[in-house]
Structure formats: C-alpha cells, structure tokens
Amino acid sequence: MGNEMRKLQFPWKQKFTISLKVPMVILLVLFGMIPMMVCVKTVISSIEQNQTNARMIEVQNQCQILSSKLSRTGYLRGEVKDGSVDSEISTIADIYNGRIVVVNKDYRIVQDTYDIAKNRLHVAEEVIRCFQGESSSSYNKEKHYFIHTLPIYDGSGEQNIDGVMMSIISTEGILSMVDAVENKASLLQFIVLLLLFIAAAVAVAFLMRPFKEFQGKLNHVADGSLDTDISADTYRETRNISQAVGRTLSKLKEVDQSRQEFVSNVSHELKTPITSIRVLADSLMGMEDVPVELYREFMEDISDEIDRESKIVDDLLALVKMDKSEAELNISQVNINGLVEQTLKRLRPIANKRKVELIFESIREVTGDIDETKLSLVITNLVENAIKYNMEEGWVRVTLDADHKFFYIKVADSGIGIPEEVQERIFDRFFRVDKARSRETGGSGLGLAITRSVVLMHKGAIKLSSKEGEGSVFTIRIPLNYIA
Ligand code: ADP
C-alpha cells in the first residue's frame, strides 16, 4: 500500500533504472574471467610450443641415428640389398606421421616413404645447403609441419657427404591434442563462469543489504514515521548518507514544528479580539435599559477590537507575501533622507499625542537602491514601536548615516527597554514582551518580524541593543547598491 502510494506520488520512480547490482556483478565476473582466460590461453600455447619442440628434438635424434646407419651400411652405395634399412626408414616416417626422402650426390631421390618421387631430381635450397655441410631445421607454423635435413656421410671417416636425408614431419597430431585440451578448458571455463556469476550475485546481494535496509527505513519515514531511527553505520557511505538524510529530516521537523506553532499562534491571535467582541456584545445584550453613553462606550471598544483583528490580518498577509521566495522588490534609487523625513512627518501626530519628542539626525545625504514602500514600512514599524513603548515626555532619535558600502538607520528611544533574556526572540512572529501593554497599544506582534523580513530581502542586517528601563536602539544596515 505504502509503495503504491509512493508510486502515485512520484511517477518518475516508475521509470526503468538499472540496478547497481548489475554492473557490480558484471565487473566481478569480468575480474574473475579475464585473468583465467589469459592463463588458459598462455598455458595452451605453451603446451603446443613444448610439444612441438620435443617432437622436433626427437625426430632430429631419430634421423641422426638413421643417417649414421645409412653411412655405416653404405646404403647410398647400394650395399644394402635386403631392404631392412628401407623398412626402418618407413617405420620412423610412419611413427612421426611424416615423409622421409633420401637424396644421393646427383640430387636424385633414391628413397621416398611416400613412393611418389623416386628417381626424380630434388634440388631444393635446404638440400643444396646440406650438401655444403649445413644441416637445417625449420618449422612452418601455418601449414603445421617442420622440415629437417641431415647429411649422410660416405662412411670413410673423412666427412665426405654422400647424400642428404630430408624429413618432413607433420604436427597435426600435436594440434589435435591441443584442440582437445582447449575444448576441455572451454567447458571448464563455462562452468567457472556460471559458478562465478552465482557467487558474484550472492556476494553483491549480501554487500548491498545495508542499502536495502536503509531504503526500508527511509520508506518508513516517507510513510509518516518521522522519528524512525535511520542510522545505517555498516559502511562509511551508508553512514554519510544516513547522517545527511538525518540532518535534512531534523530541518524538516523544525520547519513542521514552526509551521504548527505559527498556525496555533495565528488562531489564538485571531480568536482574542473575537472573544472580546463577544464578551462586550453579550454584556450589552444582558443589560436592560442601557444608557446611550455606555452603549457608545461598548461599541467603541468593539470597534477597537475589529481594528485590531483587521491589523493582524493585514500584517499576516504582508508577512506571508514577504515569505514567498518570489516576493519581488521594487528597487529604485531613492533619497533616503527624504524618505525618513516623510515617514517621520506621518508619525509626528502619534508622537505628539504621547508627548514623545521625535528627532531626526541626518549625518549625510544618502541615496540607495531600495524598495521605497517596504523600507518606509520598516522605519514606520521601528519608530512606532519606539513611540509606543516609551515613557511620558520621552524622546525618539532617528539617525541616518552611511559609509562607502552601506547606509545605517538607527532608531533610539528613551523607552521601557527590552529585557536581555528575550532580546533573541524579539523578531519572532507574535512575540511580545508584555502582552497586555502591546494589546493596549494595538500591536499585532508581527511588526518586527515584517521589519526583519524586509531588511533581509534588501540583503541587509538588523541589530538590537537595549537595557530594561533605559531604552532601546534598533540599527539597520542596508547595502547602498542592491545586487540581485
Ligand atoms: P507589536 O505589534 O506588539 O509592537 P512588534 O513585533 O513590533 O509587535 O514588537 C514585538 C515586541 O517587542 C513588542 O510587543 C514589544 O514588547 C517589544 N518592542 C518592540 N520595540 C520596542 C521598543 N522600542 N522598546 C521596547 N519594547 C519594544
């Protein structure tokens, strides 16, 4: 069922892909077979060579004995009448599967074991050279025979050459023996190939088992058991992969957890004004003969709560829009001094209402590549907070400065400050130091989260330094030139 589901979700998984086992088995079989085939080939050719050499030496010895006998008996001078030597020549020729030819001084053939060239002239090169005292031995590999020539002396002991004995010996017998060995070796090789294939398949299946187990664990995770132990420490490779997947999983879990937190925070935040509205409406309905003033007061409270709800929804939408990766910045060259001045002008009435002095300190003229609307929102959020969380008769100082790379906007206030232990969480969504005060001032708890998103989108940074009871300083740093 799980598998089916996965196939439906990831159709590309159905595409045919070769298993890693196949090249592994092929490689193992090749690594076993190639050396064996080379060995067999070498052994067979050395058997053939050795057999041929041994045969040549044997034939040379036999011919040597025979030639001595021909010398001693005066065969060429016609002193042997009974044909005993002829039959010995024939026997040797038969034993070695060859032909022996005896040539006299006149280059005429006096004996031929094949009986086809008797009395004919035989003036081959080897014969002429042999009459000059040079006996020869040569092997014709293609036609599978060797020729051996030996001088026949006249028996006087003077080394006078009376004739030449030429033996032509076939090596076909050796070749058929080698063929038989080769056939046996091929059969053996085939059996070894089969065994090797089976052994390689078993070995590979065994070696790949940890990967299969790991895959099983991952499937478990994919089926929803995010807490499955996916450690696979059998090999370094499986361990590295499992660690990488583990890291990915914990990131996923973090994302999932923060999503759940976000959803529950959103529900809670949206429910709070609704609950207040309900309580106000219920108490109004529960009373009889409500005076118009009380009625108006309650209706004003209800209206405030509706404003709050609406602000939360607006802020949420703004935040979600910025969280999207495709959120586009509308970058243009803007005079930052003008932008800050304009924004502060809009906020001055609120500051005046709370008797907070709003000061703008412009250290130099700054022009930067920014999204005007979004950066104005950042300044508004920071200055609004500085006014909201301030003391009566307090002050807010906004300073604009720049160097060759960045511009800096510093928003300092003489307000209530932020306790050190919560400073890290101050930019989290819905985080508020004092829920009651924030609610009083109509805060959604999303202002600083939005501020940080905008600053990061501009590839900038935001920093807070604050001391409880003394005030806070928020500093943003944004590159003068925006590089996408
Ligand atoms: P809110 O809408 O509640 O103001 P923000 O995200 O803007 O939400 O701020 C989060 C919390 O940080 C506020 O509730 C407040 O407790 C604290 N805070 C922000 N700015 C200041 C400041 N200048 N001085 C003291 N506290 C501040």
pLDDT digits (tens, 9 = 90+) for 240-291: 999 999 999 999 888 888 889 888 888 988 898 899 999 999 998 888 888 8
Residue from 429, 446, 448, 464 to probe ligand 1 pocket by mutation (most atoms less than 8 Å from CB): 448
Ligand 1 proximity of 389 Cβ (cutoff 6 Å): yes
Of all protein residues, the one whose alpha carbon is nearest to atom 11 of ligand 1 is 432
Q: How far apart are CA 112 and CA 415, in angstroms?
A: 132
C-beta of residue 475 within 8 angstroms of C-beta of residue 382? no
417 torsion bin: left (phi>0), alpha (psi -120 to 50), beta (else): left
Establish whether residue 418 lines the binding site of ligand 1, counting it when its CB lies within 6 angstroms of any ligand atom.
yes
The ligand 1 atom at the shortest distance from the C-alpha of residue 386 is 23
Residue 411 and residue 398 in contact, taking contact as beta carbons nearer than 8 Å: yes
Whether the CB of 66 sits within 6 Å of ligand 1: no
Q: What is the distance in A from the centroid of ligand 1 to the CA of 301?
A: 22
Ligand 1 centre from 233 Cα, in Å? 48
Kindly give the distance from the C-alpha atom of residue 106 to the centroid of ligand 1, in angstroms, as a whole number: 131
Q: How large is the C-alpha radius of gyration of the chain?
A: 54
Q: What is the pLDDT of residues 105-121, one digit of tens each?
A: 999 999 999 989 888 98
Q: How far apart are CA 447 and CA 453, in angstroms?
A: 10
What is the CB neighbour count within 10 angstroms for residue 255?
Answer: 10
What's the confidence (pLDDT) of residue 2?
A: 47
Residue 324: the pLDDT is: 66
Q: Which residues pair with 100 in a beta bridge?
A: 167
Question: Is the predicted pLDDT of residue 50 greater than 70, yes or no?
Answer: yes
Residue 482's nearest CA partner among 363, 354, 330 is 330
User: 25-43 burial by CB neighbour count: b if 16+ within 10 A, else e?
Assistant: beebbeebeeebeeebeee
Rounded to whole angstroms, what are the CA distances from 189 to 30, 40, 179, 186? 12, 9, 15, 5
Contact criterion met (CB below 8 Å) for 142 and 131 = no
pLDDT digits (tens, 9 = 90+) for 92-102: 999 999 999 99
Structure confidence at residue 327 (pLDDT): 61
Ligand 1: distance of its center to the CA of 310 in Å?
Answer: 19
Decide: 444 in ligand 1 pocket, CB within 6 A.
yes
Establish whether residue 70 lines the binding site of ligand 1, counting it when its CB lies within 6 angstroms of any ligand atom: no
Residue nearest to atom 4 of ligand 1 (CA): 443
* The pLDDT of residue 1 is above 50: no
Ligand 1 centre to CA of 469 (Å) is 14
> Buried b vs exposed e over 352-361: b needs ≥16 C-beta within 10 Å?
eebebebebe
Please, which pLDDT band fits residue 12 given cuts at 50, 70 and 90?
low
Which atom of ligand 1 is nearest the CA belonging to 432? 14
CA distances, 14 to each of 10, 18, 211, 385, 440 (Å):
8, 12, 19, 56, 59
Ligand 1 atom 14: the closest Cα is on which residue?
432
Q: How far is the CA of 425 from the centre of ligand 1 (A)?
A: 11
Cβ(462) – ligand 1 distance below 6 Å: no
Smallest CA separation from ligand 1 atom 8, residue: 445
**Phi, psi (5° rounding) for residue 367?**
-125, 130
- From ligand 1's centre to the CA of 297, what distance in Å? 28
442-468: pLDDT as tens digits: 677 889 999 999 999 999 999 999 999
Q: If you average pLDDT over every residue of the chain, what do you get? A: 90
- Tell whether the model's pLDDT for residue 474 goes beyond 90: yes
Q: Which two tokens stand for residue 345?
A: 């002008």
Residue among 330, 331, 310, 329 at smallest CA distance from 442 = 310
Write out pLDDT tens, residues 74-87: 888 888 777 888 99
Q: Is the CB of 471 under 6 A from ligand 1?
A: no
In the DSSP assignment, the letter for residue 105 is T
Q: Is 416 in the pocket of ligand 1 (CB under 6 A)?
A: yes
Predicted local distance difference test score (pLDDT) of residue 185 = 94
Whole-number Å distance, alpha carbon 428 to ligand 1 midpoint, is: 11
Pocket test for ligand 1, best of 389, 390, 465, 467 (most atoms within 8 A of CB): 389
Q: Which of 432, 453, 454, 475 to mutate to test the pocket of ligand 1 (most atoms within 8 A of CB)?
A: 432
| CB-CB contact of 172 with 144 (8 Å) | yes
Does ligand 1 come within 6 angstroms of the Cβ of 415?
Answer: yes
Phi and psi, residue 119, nearest 5°: 70, 0
Cβ 472 under 6 angstroms from ligand 1: yes
Specify the pLDDT at position 441.
Answer: 65
Q: What spacing in Å lies between the alpha carbon of 266 and ligand 1's midpoint?
A: 17
* CA distances to 331, 365, 456 from 339, in Å: 14, 11, 19
- Report the nearest atom of ligand 1 relative to the CA of 450: 6
How far from the centroid of its chain's Cα atoms is residue 289's Cα? 79
Residue 424 near ligand 1, beta carbon < 6 Å? no
**Model pTM?**
0.57
Residue 439: which pLDDT band, with cuts at 50, 70 and 90? low
- Strand blocks (E) in 288-445: 331-335, 357-362, 367-371, 395-402, 406-413
pLDDT in tens, 341-399: 999 999 999 999 999 999 999 999 999 999 999 999 999 999 999 999 999 889 999 99
CB 61 within 8 A of CB 148: no
